[in-house]
């Protein structure tokens, strides 16, 4: 559920960044048509998020995004781990991260929730700041 919510949020931020890059808000019909061109971008792993925002000319949307106790590198790693765990659960497989068994705990889930909450508070402003308009 956490990764599904994060995926929808990333899509909303991508749309906001796209509209800033286009210099205008899209109509509802335009949004629907535009979303079809990128809506299947994948689960919210760091690699998939980076690839999505590259469509807007942003090399690494995470560059410079950090907060106390959370470096950009650590954030990317946590998103990658969350995505791997989500994929294993979704496909009914043993939980593995980077090919190694992973013990999913309440503590890790609570930590991910805190990271995602702070990420949600900071990411949109950060991503929007990467869109340069003349």
The pLDDT tens digits for 98-130 are 999 999 999 999 999 999 999 999 999 999 999
End-to-end CA distance of the chain: 39
pTM assigned to the model? 0.91
pLDDT higher than threshold 90 for residue 42 = no
pLDDT higher than threshold 80 for residue 44 = yes
Predicted local confidence at residue 133, as pLDDT: 64
- 16-31: per-residue pLDDT in tens? 999 999 999 999 999 9
3-state secondary structure of 122: helix
């Amino acid at each position: 559920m956490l990764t599904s919510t994060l995926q929808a949020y990333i899509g909303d931020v991508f749309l906001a960044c796209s509209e800033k890059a286009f210099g205008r808000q899209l109509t509802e019909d335009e949004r629907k048509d535009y979303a079809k061109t990128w809506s299947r971008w994948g689960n919210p792993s760091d690699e998939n998020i980076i690839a999505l925002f590259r469509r807007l000319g942003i090399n690494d949307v995470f560059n410079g995004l950090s907060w106390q106790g959370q470096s950009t590198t650590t954030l990317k790693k946590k998103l990658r781990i969350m995505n791997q765990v989500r994929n294993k659960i979704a496909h009914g497989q043993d939980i593995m991260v980077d090919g190694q068994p992973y013990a999913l705990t309440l503590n890790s889930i609570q930590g991910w929730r805190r990271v995602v909450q702070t990420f949600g508070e900071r990411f949109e402003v950060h991503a929007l700041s990467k869109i340069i308009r003349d």
